[in-house]
Amino acid sequence: MPDRGGGGGPSGPRIRVGRPSRRARTLLMTLGVLAVLAMLFVMFAGFWTDWLWYRSVQYSSVFTTTLWTKIGLFAVFGLLMGLAVGLNIWLAHRLRPPLSAMSLEQQSLDRYRMGLAPYKKWVLLAITALVALIAGASASGQWRTWLMWVNGVPFGQKDPQFQLDVAFYAFDLPWYRFLLAFGFAATILSLIAAAMTHYLYGGLRVTSPGARATAAATGHLSVLLGVFVSLKAVAYWLDRYGLAVKSSDFKAAGNWTGLRYVDANAYLPAKTILFCIAVICAVLFFATLWRRTWQLPVIGFGLMVLSAILIGGLYPAIVQKFQVQPNEQAKEAPYIQKNIDATRKAYDIAGTEPENYSGKSTVKAKDQLRTDADTAASYRLIDPNIVSPTFQQLEQKRKYYQFPTTLDVDRYKGQDTVVGLRELNIKGIPKRNWINDHFTYTHGYGAIMAAGTQTDANGSPIFTEAGLPTTGTLGPYQQRIYYGEKTDQYSIVGGPQKELDYEENGEKTTSYEGRSGVNLSNAFNRAAYAVAFSEPQILYSGAIGEGSRILYNRTPKERVEAVAPWLTIDGDAYPAVVGGKIQWIVDAYTTTNGYPYASRTTLGATTADSLTVGNQQRAVVAQQNQVNYIRNSVKATVDAYDGTVTLYQWDKNDPVLKTWMKAFPDTVQPRETIKPELMQHLRYPQDMFKVQRELLTRYHVKDPAQFYSGSDAWQVPDDPTTREGSAVPPYYLSMKMPGDDTQRFSLTTTFTPNGRPNLGGFMAVDADAGSKDYGRIRLLRVTSDVPGPQQVQNKLNSLPSVATFVRDMKGADSDILYGNLLTVPLDGGFLYVEPVYAQGRNAQYPLLKKVAVSYVDADQPDGDTTKDTTVFENNFTDALNAVFGVEGATPPQQPEEPGTTPPTTPTTNDAALKKAIADAQKAYDDGEAALQKGDWTAYGKAQEALQKALQQAADAGAKLKPETGKSGDKPAGNTAPKPSTTPSTSASPPSG
C-alpha cells in the first residue's frame, strides 16, 4: 500500500511506547522512595551521631542549646527575609498598571508575562524560599553573637570616649551590626525584586514613550529607598561607636585600635552630621508618597553622597595633614595614653611594672656567687624538646607505641620533671587490618617520667617512672591511655573482641570498662555510624556485639573544643597523674575583639615559636584569630582512660566567661571543686604568656611620648639553638627572681631591643597555681649593655674547646644538638645555662655530653675576661666551678681570634683519643642492644668494654695540652657515677 503519511521516508512498522506496567511502576516508585529515605538517613546520620556523642560525654545541653539557637535564627531571619522579598514582589504585582503602553518594549515583555502567568504563585514561592534559605543559613552562623548579646553581663569598665560599658562593644555592637547588615540585605533584595516586577508588568519603562514610572511604582520604590537611606543613617550613628574598636595603621604603634585625634575631631562630628543628612534624605524619599516626584529625594541623596565625600573623607584628610602631622606627638598623646591603658587592662598586664635591673653583679666574691648559683634555680638539663627520641628508644618497648615530639615539664614532689605518655602509634601495628586498627590495638600504656636536672653516667635521663607496666615514684594508677594527643582514630571496645593490653612475658588482653563512648548494641546506631564514618563493616561485623562502644574525638583539645565551642584552646595540653588517674590538663581562654581602645593581636602569629613551626599539634585552637581581650578563664581536664571532660571556672571576674556560663548553665564547675592534688599540677599557660610577652615588647612603656618615639621598644629574640629564625619559646623553670627567698615554678622569656642583639629585658611569671602570687608577672628592664641569647650562643660556638668537641664528635660520626638556653638572674648579673647533646650515627637517641655556662656582669670593664665568662665543661658542677673560677676549675676560655688556629696536640695522642671515643660508643651501643634483648651476659661484657674505653680516653686526654679542653670525660649531669656492670634501675627488663 502506498505511504499515506506525510513523510517521504520508507514505510515500516510503527512502534508504540506504552505506559509501564503496574509492576514496573510499583518497582520504580519503591526504588524512588528508598532512594529518598536513604538520602534522608545520610543527612540524619551526622546529626544523630553528634547527639549521641554529646550525650555520652554528658554535655547534651551544649548540643541542644547550640542546635535550637541555630534553628531559631534560621527560622526567624529566613522568614523575615522571605516575607520582605515575597511581600514586595506581591505588592509590585498588585500595583501593576491595568494596561501596558503600546511599544516594542512592552510587546516583547508580553511574551514573558504570558509565559509566566500560569506559574506566578510557584515562581513567587520559589524566589521567597530561596532567599529565605540563604538568609536563614547565614543567620544561623551568628549563634555566638546572639547568645553573647542576649546573655551579656557588664564589664564594670567604661570606655574613655563615650562612657559606655565595655559590654556594649563586646556583646551589643556586634549584634546591632548584624541586624543592620541583615536590614541592608533585605532592603536591597526587595528593591531589586520590586524593580524587576514593576518593569515586567509595565510599572517601569525604559524606552516606552511617556512617563518612565507609574505613580504606584514611584511610591513603592521610594519607600524602599527611604528604608535604605534610614538604615544608612543608623549605620552612621553606629559608626560613631565603632571608632572605639576600629583598627588602623599607626606608624608609632603598628596595629592600632581606637580613636586618634583625627577620629575624635573630624570623623566623629562628620558621622553625626552625615546621620542628620541621611535622616532628612530618608524623609524626602518617604514624602514621595504624596508628592509623586523623585526630584527632592534625588537632590537629597546627591547631597548625602557629596557630604560623605567632603565631610567624611576630605575634611578628615585636611585635619590630619594640617593639624596633626605638624605636631603629631602632642596631638596624639592623649589618645596614645588611652590605648596604652586599655591594652594593658585587656591583656591582664595592667599590674606589670618594669623593674630596672642593672646587669651588674652585686656580689664580687666568686665563692659567694658560686654558692648563690646553686640555689638560684633548678637548672633543667633535660631538654623536653630534644629528649623525645631518648624516651622513644629506651621506653617505647613496642613499635606500636610512641611519645610526642616535644615532652612536657611538670612538678612531682617539688622537683621539675620531664613527662611523656606512651601513646598508641597506629602506624606501628605489625599487621594492619580493620580489626587490628580499631579493635585490637586501642590504647597506649603508662606515663614515663625523668628527673629534669640529672642524667646518668652515659648522659641519658634518670627515669623516675619507667617500664611496661611502669614502676617508680608514682605508685599504682590507671595506666591505660585511650585518649591522647596522638590518638586520632576511632576504636570499638568493650564487646566480644578482646583488646591487646600490653606484651610483657606474653600477650595480655583486656576489655574496656570505662563509661565513655557510644553504645553500638543498637542496630540503628551501628547503621548511623557506618554512614557517618563511611565504614559499612560497622553495620554487619561480628566483632561488634553486646557491650561494644565506639570511642572517637579522642584528642584532649578536640574534646574540650567540642563541649565548649566558645573557648579558645591553648596549644599545649599536658598530662598529670592525679588521684590514681592520668588526666590531660587543657588551658582555655575567653576572648573578644570588641574591647575599646585595646590593640588587636593575631593569635596564630603571636603564639608561634620554634616549637610550633611544622607542629600543628601545638598550635592554638582559636575561636577567633584576631582578639584584643583574653583571659585564661577555664582550666579543663580530660581523663586519659574514660575521656571524661571537666571544665573549671578559673577566672571568677571575667565577664565573658560569666556571659557564656549564662548561655550554657551547669557546664562549668566552680573553682572551689578543684581538688588540691589537681591544683598542684595546674600552671600558667604558655599561649597566654606568649600573647602577653608580645604585647609587652611595646606596652611596657607607659609614657605616650616615649611610646610614640619607639626608643624603648623590644622584640622577642629568635631561638639561638635552631636555624629556623623562629621566636625563642618560653621555658618552665623553678627559679628565684631578684628579692625572692625561695624558688618559684616560673615561665620565663627574654627580650632584646628592637634591631639589637643585647639583652633588653627578662620576664617571668609565677606559674604555680597553688601560689598566692600565681599570675604575677615580673619584668626586668636591663639598664646596662648585657649580651643577649644570640651573642652568648655565638661566643660559645667560638670557644676552642667547643671547636675541638665538635671536631671529635664529627670524627665519631655524631651530630651536635643544642638544648634550651636557660636565662637566670643571679646577684645582679645573668647566668646562661645550655645543655649540649651528641647523637651518634648508630645511636637512635641523643645523650647529654656537655654543659655550657655563661655568667655576664656588666660592671666589669670591656675586655675583662670576667665581663662575659663562658665555659664548656663535661658536667654542670664543673661548669659552675669554672665559670666562677673556684675549686680548681679550668680557667675561663676566650673565643678564638679570627685567622688563628687553636693549639694542637701530638697526632698519636689525638688518634688514641678518637679511637677510645669510638670504642666507647660501640661498647655503649652493644650494651643497649643487649639490654633490649634481655641478654644480661652480653650486657655485662659491653659494660666492661665501656669502662675500659673510657679509661683509655681519660689516659689519652691527660696527655693533651690544657688548651684543647680534654681533661678526661665526665658525665654531663650534676653527679658523676661510674658505669655499672648491671642494668640501670630505671630500665625494666625487656620482654621475653
Q: pLDDT for 602-626, tens place per residue?
A: 988 888 877 776 666 677 777 778 8
Residue 842 has a pLDDT of 72
Max mean pLDDT among 31-40, 206-215, 728-737 falls in: 728-737
Residue 936: what pLDDT? 53
Give the span between the Cα atoms of 835 and 853, in whole angstroms: 9
Q: Given CA atoms 737, 739, 743, 746 in this order, what sign does their dihedral have?
A: negative
pLDDT tens digit sequence for 685-736: 999 999 999 999 999 999 999 999 888 899 999 988 887 778 899 999 999 9
401 close to 430: Cβ distance less than 8 angstroms: no
In terms of C-beta density within 10 A (0-12 exposed, 13-18 middle, 19 or more buried), how is residue 612 classed? buried
Q: Sheet with 461-466: list strands edge to edge.
A: 408-412, 415-421, 447-455, 461-466, 471-472
pLDDT the model gives residue 104: 61
592/943: higher pLDDT: 592
Distance of alpha carbon 548 from alpha carbon 528, whole angstroms? 15
Alpha carbons 56 and 40: distance in angstroms, whole number: 24
CA distance 808 to 802: 10
Nearest to 647 by CA among 659, 638, 656: 638
In single-letter form, the type of residue at position 305 comes to: V
CB of 597 within 8 A of CB of 338?
yes
- 578 three-class SS: strand
Most confident of 720-729, 817-826, 894-903, 970-979: 817-826
How far is Cα 974 from Cα 879, in angstroms, rounded to an integer? 10
User: Does the pLDDT of residue 444 top 70, yes or no?
Assistant: yes
Q: Report the distance separating Cα 430 and Cα 340, nearest Å.
A: 59
Position 3 scores a pLDDT of 46
Q: Which residues are 250's β-sheet partners? A: 254
Cα angle 543, 547, 550; round to 5: 70
> Which residues touch 596 (CB under 8 Å, ≥6 apart)?
159, 160, 161, 166, 169, 244, 245, 257, 258, 342
Angle 60-94/173-200 helices, nearest 10 degrees? 30
What distance lies between CA 656 and its chain's CA centroid?
19
Give pLDDT, residue 678: 95
Q: Does residue 817 contact residue 836 with C-beta atoms inside 8 Å?
A: yes
pLDDT of residue 974: 45
Instruction: Round to whole Å and give the CA distance between 174 and 659.
Output: 15
Res 302 pLDDT > 80:
yes
Q: Which bin fits 50, alpha (ψ -120 to 50), beta or left (φ > 0)?
A: alpha
d(CA 858, CA 788): 12
**CA separation for the pair 835, 454 (Å, rounded):** 11
Q: What is the mean pLDDT of residues 276-303?
A: 83
Q: Are 161 and 596 in contact (CB under 8 A)?
A: yes
CA distance 892 to 864: 11
- 770: DSSP letter: T
Confidence band (pLDDT; 50, 70, 90) for 813? confident
**Alpha-carbon span 958 to 909, nearest angstrom:** 9
**SS3 category, 65:** helix
Task: Report the alpha-carbon distance of residue 171 to residue 192 in Å, rounded.
Answer: 33
Q: What is the pLDDT of residue 652?
A: 93
CA 108 to chain centre: 61
DSSP label at residue 543: T
Euclidean distance between CA atoms 451 and 399, whole angstroms: 25
pLDDT in the model for residue 966: 36
Question: Between these two residues, 99 and 324, which has the higher pLDDT value?
Answer: 324
**Model confidence band, residue 926 (pLDDT cutoffs 50, 70, 90):** confident
Give the gyration radius of the chain's Cα atoms: 37
Strands (E), 555-713: 568-569, 574-578, 581-592, 601-602, 626-627, 629-639, 645-649
Looking at residue 142, what is its pLDDT? 95
Distance CA 589, CA 569 (A): 6
pLDDT tens column, 485-530: 999 899 999 989 999 998 877 788 999 998 899 999 889 999 999 9
**pLDDT tens, position by position, 233-275:** 999 999 999 999 998 877 666 678 999 999 999 999 999 999 9
Q: Each residue of 845-864: pLDDT tens digit?
A: 888 999 999 998 887 665 45
Residues 6+ apart with CB under 8 A from 72: none
pLDDT of residue 32: 81
pLDDT at 947: 67
Q: Are 871 and 892 in contact (CB under 8 A)?
A: yes
Report the range out of 115-124, 626-635, 800-809, 855-864 with the highest average pLDDT: 626-635
- Residue 991 is predicted with a pLDDT of 35
Confidence of residue 433 (pLDDT cuts 50, 70, 90): very high
Q: Are 734 and 745 in contact (CB under 8 A)?
A: yes
Name the pLDDT band for 561 (thresholds 50, 70, 90): very high
Q: pLDDT at position 303, please?
A: 84
For residues 353 and 796, the answer to whether their CB atoms sit within 8 Å is: no
pLDDT of residue 308: 85
99-113, 424-438, 791-805: which has the minimum mean pLDDT? 99-113
Nearest to 116 by CA among 128, 124, 106, 104: 124
Instruction: Give yes or no for residue 1 having a pLDDT over 80.
Output: no
- At residue 54, the pLDDT reads 96
Cell for 382? 633535660
3-class DSSP state for residue 860?
coil
Query: Which pTM does this prediction carry?
Result: 0.83
Q: Calculate what percentage of the chain has a pLDDT beyond 90.
A: 53
Locate cell 574496656: which residue? Answer: 512
